[in-house]
């Protein structure tokens, strides 16, 4: 508990620091410059936002960088982005490898949001969509090499929904099965617990920006 409160303290301090920086950044940024900043933020990569966050551009516009969501998080998972985030400086995000979102049933972070950047009406954790987990490095995934790891699967809070195990024959030994963790994008909430739990030095499963839903009429 002690370490948790310390961490909250840090993010609060950082928030205060950011609180000074942010208006400065805004003041400096004119129209063209702000687009530049936005581009830079996008290029920097994907920010895992707290549950119920609006689409990234709208989120950036709506978030007032007050840090209330970070304060509400009992797991110190939400931290405020630093200068590297460009215009997103001071916005809340989650570094899953350090502290993933634990999917609190009452979603206190979203409830605490005064600006609407996070959806306060969100009730069901299974409806959260922060991102989607993907095995990005199949070569280094121990489960795919036939070892009985599957830590990502067993630690998944939506076990058997967001991640399932699909066994297939392991031709290397001839008598064992490879237990392949398969991620189901329609169920994955992007909490990052799998990314956090992965036993490799560089996690082979990470949360990325959810791919857009592509409409088609092919039902099979």
Partner 1 sequence: MEVSRRDFLKATAAAAAFAAAGGAVLKPKLAEAAEGGIKWGKAPCRFCGTGCGVLVGVKDGKVVATKGDPAAPVNKGLNCIKGYFLAKILYGKDRLTKPLIRKGNKMVEASWDEAMTLIAGKFKESIEKHGPDSVAIYGSGQWTVFEGYAASKLFKGGIGTNNIEPNARLCMASAVTGFMTTFASDEPMGVYDDLDLGDTYFLWGANMAECHPVLFSRMIDNRLKNPKVKIIDFGTRRTRTSQMADTYIRFNPQTDLALLNAIAHVIVKEKLYDEKFIQSHVVFKKGKTNIGYGLEDKFKFVDEPKPMTFDEYKDFLKTYTPEYASKLSGVPTATIVEMARLYADKNRKVNSLWTMGFNQHTRGTWVNNLVYNVHLLTGKICRPGENPMSLTGQPSACGTAREVGTFTHRLPADMVVTDPEHRAKAEKIWGIPAGKIPAKPTYNATEMFRALDRGDIKVIWTQVTNPFQSLPNLNRYRKGARKGDGRFVIVSDMYPTKSTEVADVILPSASWVEKEGVFGNAERRTQQWFKMVDPPGEAKNDLWQTIELAKRLGHGNLFPYKYVEKEMWEEYRKFGEGQGKDMAPYEAYAKARGLRWPVVNGKETLYRYAEGHDPYVKKGEGIKFYKNKKDGGKAVIWARPYEPAPEVPDKSYPFWLCTGRVLEHWHTGTMTGRVPELKRAYPAAVCEMHPDDAKKLGIKNLQKVKVSSRRGTIILPVDLNGRGKAEKGNIFVAFFDENKLINELCIDAYCPISGEPDYKKCAVKVEKA
- Cα 107 to its chain centre, rounded Å, is 14
- Tell me the C-alpha distance between 88 and 82, whole Å: 8
Stretch that binds partner 1, among 18-26, 33-41, 128-136, 171-179 (CB under 8 A): 171-179
Query: Of the two residues 97 and 129, which places its CB atom closer to partner 1 in the complex?
Result: 97
Among 2, 31, 121, 168, binds partner 1 (CB under 8 A): 168
Contact call for residues 150 and 160 (beta carbons, < 8 A): no
Is residue 165 at the binding interface for partner 1, with CB under 8 A as the rule? Answer: yes
- Tell me the C-alpha distance between 87 and 43, whole Å: 12
- Tell me the C-alpha distance between 152 and 108, whole Å: 25
- Tell me the C-alpha distance between 89 and 111, whole Å: 22
Is residue 120 at the binding interface for partner 1, with CB under 8 A as the rule? Answer: no
Contact call for residues 110 and 51 (beta carbons, < 8 A): yes
Is residue 169 at the binding interface for partner 1, with CB under 8 A as the rule? Answer: yes
Phi and psi angles of residue 42, each rounded to the nearest 5 degrees, phi first = -65, -45
By CB under 8 A, how many residues form the interface with partner 1?
Answer: 36
Is residue 155 at the binding interface for partner 1, with CB under 8 A as the rule? Answer: yes
Is residue 142 at the binding interface for partner 1, with CB under 8 A as the rule? Answer: yes
- Which residues in the 60-99 window bind partner 1 by CB under 8 A? none
Query: Of the two residues 87 and 189, which places its CB atom closer to partner 1 in the complex?
Result: 189
Query: Of the two residues 84 and 106, which places its CB atom closer to partner 1 in the complex?
Result: 106
Q: Smallest distance from the beta carbon of 54 to partner 1, in angstroms?
A: 26
Is residue 182 at the binding interface for partner 1, with CB under 8 A as the rule? Answer: no
Is residue 30 at the binding interface for partner 1, with CB under 8 A as the rule? Answer: no
- Tell me the C-alpha distance between 104 and 116, whole Å: 19
CA distances from 188 to 91, 131, 152, 164, 191 (A): 23, 8, 12, 11, 8
Q: Smallest distance from the beta carbon of 130 to partner 1, in angstroms?
A: 17
Q: Is 41 exposed, middle or buried (0-12, 13-18, 19+ CB in 10 A)?
A: buried
Is residue 202 at the binding interface for partner 1, with CB under 8 A as the rule? Answer: no
Among 148, 182, 202, 211, binds partner 1 (CB under 8 A): 148
Residues at the site binding partner 1, with contacts judged by CB under 8 A: 102-106, 142, 146-151, 154-155, 157-160, 165, 167-170, 172-179, 196-200
């Amino acid at each position: 508990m002690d370490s948790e409160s310390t961490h909250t303290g840090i993010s609060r301090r950082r928030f205060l620091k950011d609180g000074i920086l942010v208006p400065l950044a805004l003041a400096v940024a004119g129209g063209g410059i702000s687009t530049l900043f936005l581009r830079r933020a996008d290029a920097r990569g994907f920010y895992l936002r707290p549950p119920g966050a609006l689409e990234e551009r709208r989120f950036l516009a709506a978030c007032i960088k007050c840090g209330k969501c970070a304060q509400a998080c009992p797991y110190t998972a939400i931290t405020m982005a630093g200068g590297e985030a460009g215009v997103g400086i001071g916005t809340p995000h989650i570094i899953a490898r350090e502290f993933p979102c634990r999917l609190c049933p009452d979603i206190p972070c979203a409830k605490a949001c005064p600006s609407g950047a996070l959806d306060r009406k969100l009730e069901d954790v299974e409806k959260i969509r922060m991102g989607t987990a993907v095995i990005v490095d199949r070569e280094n995934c121990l489960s795919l090499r036939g070892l009985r790891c599957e830590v990502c699967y067993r630690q998944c809070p939506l076990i058997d929904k967001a991640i399932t195990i699909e066994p297939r024959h392991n031709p290397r030994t001839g008598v064992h099965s490879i237990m392949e963790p398969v991620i189901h994008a329609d169920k994955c909430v992007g909490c990052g617990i799998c990314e956090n739990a992965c036993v490799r030095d560089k996690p082979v499963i990470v949360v990325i920006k959810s791919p857009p839903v592509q409409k088609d009429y092919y039902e099979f």
